[in-house]
Amino acid sequence: MTEVIDLGAFGDAFRRDPHLVYARLRERGPVHRVRPPGSDETYATWLVVGYEEARAALTDPRLVKDGERIGATFLDEQVIGKHLLITDPPQHTRLRALVARAFTVRRVEELRPRVQQITDDLLDAMLPRGHADLVESFAYPLPLTVICELLGVPEIDRAAFREMSTEVVAPTGADHGQDAFVRLGAYLTELIEDKRCAEPGGDLLSDLIRTTAEDGDRLSAEELRGMAFLLLIAGHETTVNLVTNAVHALLTHPDQLAALRADPALVDGVVEETLRWEGPVENATYRFAVEPLEIADVAIEKGDPVLIGLASADRDELRYEEPDHYDVRRDPRGHLAFGHGIHFCLGAPLARLEARTALRSLLDRAPGLALDGPPGEWLPGMLMRGMRSLPVRW
């Protein structure tokens, strides 16, 4: 019988630094049966920790995202509806094609001046104080404002939306997470209906309501809610962590910060190396074996859940030399922080734009930036990798 490794047994150490545990797992092999922290003692999932195995698993059609194909349904599907992270081709292909018509690279590029303006406004408010929590004052409001403006979420609703979305991705308790799903689903239903009844707006959600494919296909009300949910959650929660993790990495690696200050063109390297070294998504959302298969000679049964370890894969010694070393001059191409294959992150260009703009502007205007105490606790769970607060001064 396959050993089940209880990750909860590592306690808070696993939340603070899961990389040590992942490295020990990789030494034993690229695939393991694990019990995630906080899960039922009877529950277990496969965890893929090796780079090559993870990259291959991300494109393996035998590992599906739609739980209904193995007879399972989940809260987000019941309350929110189908979205890109819980569908497979051909449904996924159809949904992605419809949203891609509105969420284009050109549209992201057009956001550049507005992203810079929001960044400047936040720094104008923060810098006179001399110290702040970077998450609360900068890293969180920047992508939240961008994605809410992009999708047309009224400013008056954004504080409540932030509270709901944070509970969804990093719940402080099982009941809290479920309640947040329900409230967020109800809010999005109302928001979509308001936009249907209003004069056509220029925001992305209004575009999605009106978007029609060449064959006349359109998103249903449920699909619109699912798409809005995914774009709102994935469109800011991940970028918050990317910006925060990048600043934390630079401030704890003064040689790398000095290199960036000496050559601001290295900002792209900072973003990509942060994505590899401490990316905002620790593990991809669940996949399920739709038939028996093997990964690295490990037998996985039909119906088994599978987690693909993005953070572990990107620190695999077989893929990157000295993977635990943070090096902004490294060539980290091929990292899996945004996934791989058909589920590659649709918002990657926007996340990169926001992170580059935030880092360049922050470091330019706060030359004495430094840590002002230890960071807050790392987010719970195995999905997001980020900290709740980061005290800084300048």
The one-character DSSP state at 104 is -
Whether the pLDDT of residue 143 is over 70: the answer is yes
pLDDT of amino acid 230: 87
Which letter does DSSP use for residue 89 in this model? T
Identify the band that residue 1 occupies on the pLDDT scale cut at 50, 70 and 90. low
- Average pLDDT of the chain? 91
Q: What is the mean pLDDT of residues 217-227?
A: 83
109-143 exposure pattern, b = at least 16 Cβ within 10 A, e = fewer: eebeeebeebbeebbeebeeeeebbbbebbbbbbb
Distance, CA of 195 to CA of 388 (rounded, Å): 33
User: What's the CA gap between 72 and 66, in Å, rounded?
Assistant: 8
User: Taking residues 118-129, what's their average pLDDT?
Assistant: 98
- Sequence-separated (6 or more) residues with CB below 8 Å from residue 184: 79, 80, 161, 164, 165, 168, 229
pLDDT of residue 123: 98
pLDDT at 213 (0 to 100): 53
Of 68-72, 86-90, 211-215, 324-328, the one with minimum mean pLDDT is: 211-215
CA distances from 314 to 111, 146, 272, 374 (A): 30, 28, 11, 25
Please determine, for residue 82, whether its predicted confidence score (pLDDT) is greater than 90: no
**CA 44/CA 63 separation, integer angstroms:** 16
Tens-place pLDDT, residues 187-200: 888 988 888 887 77
Task: Report the interhelical angle of 91-100 vs 221-234 (nearest 10°).
Answer: 70
Give 131's strand partners. 393
Q: Is the pLDDT of residue 214 over 60?
A: no
Coil, strand or helix: which one is 17?
A: coil
Q: Rounded CA gap, 240 and 122, in Å? A: 14
**Does 252 score more than 60 pLDDT?**
yes
The tokens 């074996």 sit on which residue?
289
Instruction: Give the confidence band of 75 by pLDDT, cuts at 50, 70, 90.
Output: low
Query: Span 189-218, mean pLDDT?
Result: 78
240 pLDDT exceeds 70? yes
Q: What is the pLDDT of residue 162?
A: 81
Which domains, and CATH codes, for the chain? 4-384 (1.10.630.10)
Q: What's the mean pLDDT in 346-374?
A: 95
pTM above 0.85, yes or no: yes
**Mean pLDDT along residues 86-105:** 84
SS3 130: coil
